[in-house]
C-alpha cells in the first residue's frame, strides 16, 4: 500500500506563489524597466542635493514648469471639449454623415505629432511657440478623449435616459442629467492620457520651438558640457508624469466599476440638432481639415516637390530598412520580457506579481527623452561598448513599450480559462509543459496582434531614437526631424510619407481588425 516512492512527494506549496521559471525572467523585466529611472535619479544627485536644489529653484526652471503646465492644461481642456463634441455628434445626434465623421475623427491619433508639426512649420503661416504646439497637440490628442467617450456613450443603457424622460425631462435635459454624467469617468481617463502625452511629447514642441521640459532637456543635453541639469530636469518631468499616471490608473479603476453590469441590447435614441446642425456641420469640417487633411496634404505636397527635384532614394530606402530592423529588434525584446510578466499578472495574485506588473508599467510614465537620457548616462558610465550601438537603443524601446506588450500578453492569457490549464495539469503535464502546450498556443494570436502594434509604434518613436541611434545610421523619423530642423522641407517630406506608409497605415488596419474581433 505504501508505494510513495512511485510518486515522490513534494513539500507543500501555496498555490498562489508564482513558479520560479516565470518569476525570475519577470524580475529581469522589472529590472530593465526600472533601470533608466533609477540611474537617472543616481545621476541627478551625483553632484549633491545642493546642486539639485540650485537647478530646481532657478527662475528658468519655474518658467519651464509654468510653460509645460500651461500647455498641458490648454491642450487637455481643448481635447475634452473636442472629444465630447465629436462623441455626442457621432453617437447621439442626427448630423448628416456622422458615420464617416466617426471614423475620420479617430484618425489624427495615428499621425505622429512631429508630422503634424512638420505641416505647420513648413507652411507659410507662422505658428511656432505656444499657439503652434497647442494646435498640433490638441489635434493629435483629442481622440484620447473621443474614443473612450464614444465607447461609454454606446455602452450606457438607453433605459436610464428613457426613465428620465418618463420622469418629465426633455431629450436634452435627459441627456445632460443622465448620459453626460455617466461618461464623466471615461472623459476624465482620456483627459489624463492627453495630459501625459502632452508632457511627454518631444517632436512637436521641438519643431515648433516651444521651450517645455522635453525640448529644454534635449537642448541642455546637446549644448552644455555639464549634463547634470538635464538629469535633474528629467527627474522633475518624471515627477509630473508619474503623478498623472497614478491619478489616471486610479480613475480608470473606478470608472471600470461604473461600467460593470450594463447589459445593453438597443441603440440609444437620436437627439435632433435642429438649427444647430448649421453650426455643427462646418465646425466638424474645419476641425477635421486642421487635424487630418492639412498634415496629410502638406506631406503629399512637399513629398511631390522633393521627389520631383530628386531625393536620395538610396538613403530613403536605407532609412526605411533601418527603421524596420530596429523596430523588429525592439519588439522582440519587448515581447520576450513581457511574456513572463503578462502570464504572472493574468494567473497569479501575490505581492511579487503586483510589484512586477507595476514595475514594467513604468515606461508608461517615462517620456522617451528621459529614458533616452538616462540610458545615455548609463551607457557612457557602465556600458561604453554598447553606447551609440543598437543594443542600447533596443533597451530603450523595451522600456518604453513594455507596458503595451505586457497588457497584450496579460489580456490574451486571461481570455482563456484557468480551468483549461488545470485540466492539462491533471492529465499529467508539469507547469512548464502546460505553458508550452496550452497557455502560449492559446494566447499566441493575441500576443502576435499586440506585438504588431508595438512594432508599428516603435517605428514612429522619435526622441529615444534620436539620442541613442547607432553612429552612422538614421531612421525615417530622425531623418524627417533633422531635415525639417534645417528647413529642408522637400527633403524631409518623403521620409514622413514613407513612415506613414510603413507604420501608420498598418496601425489603422490592425486597430480596425482588433476592434471587430
Partner 1 sequence: MSEVMIRGLAVGFGAGSERTEVLRGLDLDVTDGHLTAVVGASGCGKTTLLRAIAGFVPPDAGTVSIDGQVVAGRGVHIPPERRGVTLVPQEGALFPHLDVAANVAFGLTRRQPRSRVGELLELVGLGGMESRRPHELSGGQQQRVALARALAPEPRLVLLDEPFSALDAGLRESVRAEVRRVLRRAGTTALLVTHDQDEALSVADSVAVLTNGTVAMHASPESVYARPTDLGVARFIGQVVELPARVRGREAHTALGCVLLSADTVSPSANGSEALGTVTLRPEQIRILGVDQPGVVGHVEERTYYGHDATVAVRLEGEHGIPGPRVIVRTTGALPPEDEVRLAVTGTGRFFPTP
Q: In the structure grid, which three cell numbers stand for residue 485, read together?
A: 530642423
HSE-up (13 A, CA, CB side) for residue 137? 37
Among 103, 321, 420, 505, binds partner 1 (CB under 8 A): 420
Measure Cα distances from 149 to 184, 191, 195, 267, 287 in Å: 8, 11, 16, 15, 18
Which of 379, 332, 327 has its CA nearest to residue 35? 379
Binding mask 15-54 for partner 1 (x = CB under 8 A): x---------------------------------------
Bridge partners for 93 per DSSP: 271
**Does the footprint of partner 1 cover residue 260 (CB under 8 A)?**
no
Taking CA atoms, 356 is separated from 274, 300, 400, 403, 415, in Å, by 54, 45, 15, 11, 20
Among 104, 152, 371, 424, binds partner 1 (CB under 8 A): 424
Identify the residue whose cell numbers are 509543459.
433
Min dist. Cβ of residue 433 to partner 1 (A): 8
Pick 209 or 349: Cβ nearer partner 1: 349
Give the count of residues interacting with partner 1 (CB under 8 A).
30
* Least separation in angstroms between CB 21 and partner 1: 14
Q: Does 1 sit near partner 1 (CB under 8 A)? A: yes
Q: Which span sits near partner 1 by CB under 8 A: 176-184, 333-341, 415-423, 475-483?
A: 415-423
Q: How far is the CB of 11 from partner 1 (least distance, A)?
A: 7
Report the C-alpha gap between 481 and 172 in whole angstroms: 47
Is 125 near partner 1 (CB under 8 A)?
no
Stretches 12-20, 205-213, 221-229, 369-377: which one binds partner 1 (CB under 8 A)? Answer: 12-20
Q: Binding segment for partner 1 among 7-15, 237-245, 289-297, 321-329 (CB under 8 A)?
A: 7-15
In angstroms, the CA 383 to CA 371 distance is 15
**Could you give the CA distance from residue 267 to residue 91 in angstroms, rounded to a whole number?**
9
Q: Which residue from 59, 428, 515, 516 is in contact with partner 1, where contact means CB under 8 A?
A: 428
Piece in contact with partner 1 (CB under 8 A), picked from 8-16, 102-110, 139-147, 265-273:
8-16
In the block, cell 471639449 appears at: 81
Shorter beta-carbon distance to partner 1: residue 60 or 349? 349
* CB hemisphere CA count around 455 (13 angstroms): 17
Sequence-ordered list of residues with C-beta below 8 angstroms from that of 356, at least 6 positions apart, any chain: 23, 26, 27, 29, 30, 341, 344, 345
Q: Which of 260, 265, 427, 515 binds partner 1 (CB under 8 A)?
A: 427
Cα–Cα distance measured from residue 130 to residue 66, given in angstroms and rounded to the nearest whole number: 12
Contact region with partner 1 (CB under 8 A), list: 62-70, 236-244, 435-443, 466-474: 435-443
Using CB under 8 A as the binding rule, whether residue 11 contacts partner 1 is answered as yes
- Binding test (CB under 8 A) with partner 1, winner from 223, 309, 426, 516: 426
Q: Of 6 and 486, which CB lies nearer to partner 1 in the complex structure? A: 6
Which residue among 181, 381, 425, 512 contacts partner 1 (CB under 8 A)? Answer: 425
- DSSP E strands, 403-490: none
Q: Which residue has the cell 510614465?
A: 365
Q: Does residue 438 touch partner 1 according to CB under 8 A? A: yes
430 binds partner 1 (CB under 8 A): yes
Residue 132 CB, nearest distance to partner 1 (Å)? Answer: 51
Residue 203: CB minimum distance to partner 1, A: 42
Is position 226 an interface residue for partner 1 (rule: CB under 8 A)?
A: no
Is residue 209 at the binding interface for partner 1, with CB under 8 A as the rule? Answer: no
HSE on the CB side for 185, CA within 13 Å?
Answer: 16
C-alpha cell at 158: 438607453
* Contact between 354 and partner 1 per CB under 8 A: no
Cβ within 8 Å of residue 108, ≥6 positions away: 116, 139, 140, 142, 143, 291, 292
Near partner 1 by CB under 8 A: residue from 48, 96, 441, 485: 441
What is the number of other CB atoms lying within 10 angstroms of the CB of residue 77? Answer: 13
The H-or-E segment that residue 40 falls in is helix 20-44
CB atoms within 10 A of CB 165: 14
- Using CB atoms within 10 A of its CB, is residue 344 exposed (0-12), middle (13-18) or buried (19+)? buried
Question: And the C-alpha cell for 405?
Answer: 506588450
Of the candidates 70, 289, 423, 448, which one interacts with partner 1 according to CB under 8 A? 423
Q: Is 126 a binder of partner 1 (CB under 8 A)? A: no
Instruction: Please report the sign of the dihedral spanned by the C-alpha atoms of residue 183, residue 186, residue 188, residue 193.
Output: negative
Residues in the chain: 517
Stretch in the footprint of partner 1 (CB under 8 A) among 53-61, 125-133, 313-321, 421-429: 421-429
CB of 415 to partner 1, least distance (A): 10
Least separation in angstroms between CB 412 and partner 1: 12
Which CB atom, from 128 or from 416, has the smaller least distance to partner 1? 416
Could you tell me the three cell numbers for 244? 498623472
In the complex, the residues that contact partner 1 under the rule CB under 8 A are 1-4, 6-7, 9-15, 416-417, 419-420, 422-430, 437-438, 441-442
Amino acid at each position: 500500500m505504501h508505494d510513495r516512492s512511485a510518486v515522490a512527494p513534494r513539500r507543500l506549496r501555496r498555490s498562489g506563489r508564482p513558479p520560479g521559471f516565470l518569476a525570475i525572467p519577470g524580475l529581469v523585466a522589472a529590472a530593465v524597466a526600472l533601470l533608466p529611472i533609477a540611474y537617472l535619479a543616481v545621476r541627478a544627485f551625483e553632484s549633491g542635493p545642493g546642486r539639485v536644489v540650485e537647478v530646481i529653484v532657478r527662475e528658468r526652471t519655474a518658467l519651464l514648469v509654468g510653460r509645460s503646465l500651461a500647455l498641458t492644461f490648454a491642450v487637455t481642456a481643448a481635447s475634452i471639449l473636442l472629444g465630447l463634441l465629436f462623441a455626442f455628434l457621432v453617437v447621439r445626434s442626427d448630423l448628416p454623415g456622422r458615420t464617416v465623421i466617426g471614423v475620420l475623427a479617430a484618425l489624427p491619433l495615428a499621425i505622429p505629432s512631429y508630422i503634424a508639426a512638420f505641416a505647420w512649420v513648413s507652411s507659410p503661416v507662422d505658428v511656432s511657440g505656444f499657439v503652434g504646439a497647442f494646435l498640433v497637440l490638441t489635434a493629435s490628442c483629442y481622440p484620447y478623449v473621443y474614443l473612450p467617450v464614444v465607447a461609454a456613450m454606446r455602452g450606457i443603457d438607453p433605459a436610464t435616459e428613457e426613465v428620465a424622460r418618463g420622469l418629465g425631462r426633455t431629450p436634452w435635459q435627459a441627456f445632460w442629467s443622465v448620459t453626460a454624467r455617466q461618461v464623466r469617468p471615461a472623459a476624465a481617463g482620456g483627459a489624463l492620457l492627453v495630459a501625459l502625452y502632452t508632457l511627454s511629447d518631444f517632436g512637436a514642441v521641438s519643431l515648433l520651438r516651444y521651450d517645455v521640459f522635453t525640448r529644454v532637456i534635449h537642448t541642455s543635453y546637446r549644448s552644455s558640457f555639464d549634463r547634470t541639469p538635464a538629469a535633474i530636469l528629467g527627474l522633475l518631468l518624471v515627477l509630473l508624469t508619474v503623478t498623472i499616471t497614478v491619478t489616471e490608473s486610479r480613475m480608470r479603476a473606478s470608472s471600470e466599476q461604473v461600467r460593470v453590469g450594463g447589459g445593453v441590447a438597443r441603440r440609444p435614441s437620436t437627439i435632433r440638432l435642429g438649427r444647430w446642425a448649421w453650426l455643427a456641420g462646418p465646425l466638424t469640417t474645419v476641425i477635421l481639415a486642421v487635424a487630418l487633411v492639412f498634415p496629410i496634404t502638406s506631406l503629399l505636397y512637399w513629398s511631390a516637390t522633393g521627389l520631383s527635384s530628386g531625393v536620395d532614394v538610396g538613403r530613403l530606402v536605407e532609412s526605411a530598412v533601418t527603421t524596420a530592423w530596429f523596430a523588429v529588434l525592439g519588439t522582440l525584446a519587448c515581447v520576450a520580457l513581457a511574456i513572463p510578466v503578462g502570464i504572472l499578472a493574468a494567473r497569479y495574485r501575490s505581492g511579487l506579481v503586483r510589484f512586477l506588473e507595476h514595475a514594467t508599467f513604468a515606461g508608461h510614465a517615462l517620456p522617451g527623452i528621459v529614458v533616452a537620457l538616462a540610458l545615455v548616462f548609463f551607457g557612457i558610465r557602465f556600458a561604453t561598448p554598447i553606447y551609440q550601438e543598437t543594443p542600447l537603443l533596443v533597451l530603450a524601446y523595451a522600456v518604453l513599450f513594455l507596458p503595451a506588450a505586457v497588457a497584450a500578453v496579460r489580456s490574451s492569457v486571461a481570455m482563456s480559462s484557468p480551468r483549461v490549464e488545470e485540466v492539462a495539469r491533471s492529465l499529467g503535464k508539469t507547469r512548464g509543459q502546460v505553458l508550452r502546450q496550452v497557455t502560449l498556443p492559446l494566447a499566441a494570436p493575441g500576443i502576435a496582434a499586440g506585438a504588431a502594434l508595438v512594432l508599428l509604434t516603435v517605428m514612429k518613436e522619435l526622441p529615444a531614437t534620436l539620442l541613442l541611434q547607432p553612429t552612422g545610421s538614421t531612421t525615417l523619423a530622425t531623418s524627417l526631424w533633422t531635415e525639417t530642423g534645417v528647413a529642408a522641407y522637400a527633403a524631409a517630406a518623403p521620409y514622413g510619407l514613407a513612415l506613414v506608409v510603413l507604420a501608420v497605415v498598418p496601425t489603422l488596419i490592425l486597430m480596425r481588425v482588433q476592434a471587430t474581433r
